[in-house]
Chain A
Amino acid sequence: MAERDLIIIGGGPAGLTAGLYGSRAGLQTLLVEKLSPGGQVLITDQVENYPGFPEGLSGFELVEKMTAHARKFGMEEMNGEVIGMEYHHPEAVTVKLADGNTLAAKAVIIATGAGHRRLEIPGEEEFTGRGVSYCATCDGPFFRDQEVAVIGGGDSAVQEAIFLTKFASRVYLIHRRDRLRAVKALQERAFENPKIEFIYDSVVKRFDGDESGLRSVTIENLRNGKVSDLAVGGGFIFVGMVPNTGFLKGVVDLDGQGFVITDEWMKTSANRIFAAGDCRSKPLLQIVTAASDGATAAFAAEHLIYGV
């Protein structure tokens, strides 16, 4: 079993930045990614808050630049799905892949990110891909001149609601509270958009439709308990994230929501295993904080491996 210095699991901004810092520090670095590099950034239409790009840039562009940057310093890549890992005394971690292979390194950085949270309500699974969606940039164009609902009130929900007005004739933004949680700049843009209608204090109880797809959502107003149906062809759900850490139970300590607990060196509870990016328990899940985590984790791994 060939042992490397550093294995990074996941090729989003955290993993790519760890790859850049690790390989630039002279560590023999391998990035293992299930799909192709990018992660959630790939579904972001326009990135407006990554420093150094005042005009904004597309998620595609940013991923391409980050990948090229990490490759420049010699980072290796492979396609694979990690299903487990284990620390071996004194200084190795083995990583198990779904295809049965095993890899080994002196240190591992977990950068598996997070995925969309589901509402877990009737009809959600049935109509996923037939009206229910978690990706406006992927599926928005299928809803040209239709009315759609967006569920959520954070940055993602508001940004995607604005994006969807490029296609949909009307966008209902359904939020459980009496005001949005998104940053002011996004809120203002949404308020100015004549195609967006706000439905506050309300939750979606179920999705209904027929063989042609989604037809309506059932909404409950939490203030007065009134239940009503809203006719929409699309339901876009943006209600937070769940970490991709299912394979880490019993390997490293996780918080109540499944995010990996680390110290400020990105060290997990397990020897020689670090975590970075959206899979880590922390207050702000953003591209810039993912990149920051990746840099710190690679730096910590470098210190560990070189013993300085």
Chain B
Amino acid sequence: MADDKVIHVTDADFETTVLGADLPVLVDFWASWCGPCRAIAPVVEELASEYDGKVIVAKMNVDESPATPGKYGIRAIPTLILFKDGQVVDQITGAVGKALIEAALTKVTS
């Protein structure tokens, strides 16, 4: 399954796994009660496979890890934040198509 490429991060390991990563990291902030999060999930999984080795794709459950979304002012999900060298490079809110997310990923991989 494509899902194998997606890693799951929490408040506890966010700093090392995301901010300290050598590669750019796309974090999908989601929750089980959010319909559009479910809608966007297959797209995120596909991107994780396609960008394997170039971008780390991570999911963070905002119910289990409220501190990190709070720190980044997230008040809507799904929100995708693209990090590079610990900095926010791009932020996408809402369930958007693959092309829009890819446009952001291309900026940090090319």
**Which of A79, A130, A137, A212 touches B33 (beta carbons < 8 Å)?**
A137
Stretch at the interface among B6-14, B17-25, B51-59, B75-83: B75-83
Nearest chain A CB to B45 CB, angstrom units:
10
**Contact B38 A141, beta carbon cutoff 8 Å:** no
Scan B61-86; emit 1 where CB is below 8 A from any A CB, else 0: 00000000000011111110000000
On whether the beta carbons of A43 and B76 are closer than 8 Å, the reply is no
A35-B42, A138-B76 known; A98 and B97 CB under 8 Å? yes
With an 8 Å Cβ cutoff, the count of chain B residues facing the other chain is 27
B40 at the interface (CB under 8 A from A): yes
How far does the alpha carbon of A234 sit from the alpha carbon of B76 in the complex, in Å?
10
Q: Which residues does chain B contribute within 8 Å of A38, judged by CB atoms? A: 35, 38-39
Counting residue pairs across A and B whose Cβ atoms lie within 8 Å, the total is 83
Known: A130-B75, A139-B77. A35 touches B31 (CB 8 A): no
Residues of A within 8 A of B76 (CB): 128-130, 133, 135, 138-139, 142
Taking residues whose C-beta sits less than 8 angstroms from the other chain, chain A's interface range is 20 to 34
- Which DSSP category, helix, strand, loop or mixed, fits chain B's interface? mixed
Q: How far is the CA of A38 from the CA of B78 in the complex (A)?
A: 16
Answer whether residue B90 sits at the interface, using C-beta atoms and an 8 A cutoff. no
Assess whether B73 is in contact with A212, with CB atoms less than 8 Å apart: yes
Chain B 28-43 interface mask (CB, 8 Å, partner A; 1/0): 0001011111111111
Q: Which chain A residues have a beta carbon within 8 Å of chain B's beta carbons?
A: 34-36, 38, 41-44, 59-60, 79, 81, 98, 128-131, 133-135, 137-139, 141-143, 211-213, 234
Query: Can you report 16 residue pairs joining A to B where beta carbons are below 8 Å apart?
Result: A36-B38, A36-B39, A36-B40, A38-B35, A38-B39, A42-B35, A42-B38, A79-B42, A79-B43, A128-B94, A129-B76, A129-B91, A135-B36, A135-B94, A137-B34, A139-B76
Q: Beyond the given A36-B41, A36-B42, A135-B35, could you list 8 further A-B residue pairs with CB under 8 A, ordered by the A residue number?
A: A42-B39, A60-B38, A79-B43, A98-B98, A98-B99, A129-B76, A129-B94, A139-B77
